[in-house]
Amino acid sequence: MNLEEYVQLDGVGLARLIVSGQVSKGEVEVVARDALGQADADLNALALPVFDAALDFADDGVLAGVPLVIKDSGPVAQGVPFFLGSRSVERAVARHDATVMSRFRAAGLATLGYLRAGGRRQVQRFTAGGARSRSGGR
């Protein structure tokens, strides 16, 4: 599999190719890592370097081996640091998997990296858990 083929497929398409034996999980991961490296070089999108190894996942899940990056929106994956898009949050590490991460793992998604949270406003509105008026500070 090459990068051009990879970017034409969604997760279900990748899973079908893996299940059919047309590509291996390892081949998909190599291409996904290349894509992540290129995207991060252009966008500075990753909060952490690409993980040395994918986080543990169910090898028999319906999406086993399909690559995933998680967003820095709080404590998501056990043992992975989080920043909430802020330099003021240092050395915080998730003590356990969030429910969504448990479901990602059970589905077989191979988590390879951690995306930056985006802009300050996005973190305040959607991930920090605080109430905020829509009219205040748009």
* 73 vs 78: CA distance, rounded Å: 13
80: in domain: yes
User: Range of 121's domain?
Assistant: 3-126
Query: Quick one: pLDDT at residue 47?
Result: 87
137: in domain: no
Mean pLDDT over all residues of the chain?
A: 85
Q: Tell me which DSSP letter residue 115 carries.
A: E
CA angle 98/90/94 to nearest 5° reads 15
Tell me the per-residue pLDDT of 86-100, one tens digit each, with 9 for 90 and over. Answer: 777 778 999 999 999
pLDDT band at 134 (very low <50, low <70, confident <90, very high): very low
134: in domain: no
Tell me the per-residue pLDDT of 13-38, one tens digit each, with 9 for 90 and over. Answer: 999 999 999 999 999 999 999 999 99
* 45 vs 3: CA distance, rounded Å: 19
Q: CA-CA-CA-CA torsion for 93, 95, 100, 102, nearest 10 degrees?
A: 130
State how far Cα 104 lies from the chain centre: 10
47: in domain: yes
40: in domain: yes
15: in domain: yes
Q: Tell me which DSSP letter residue 37 carries.
A: H
Total domain count, the chain: 1
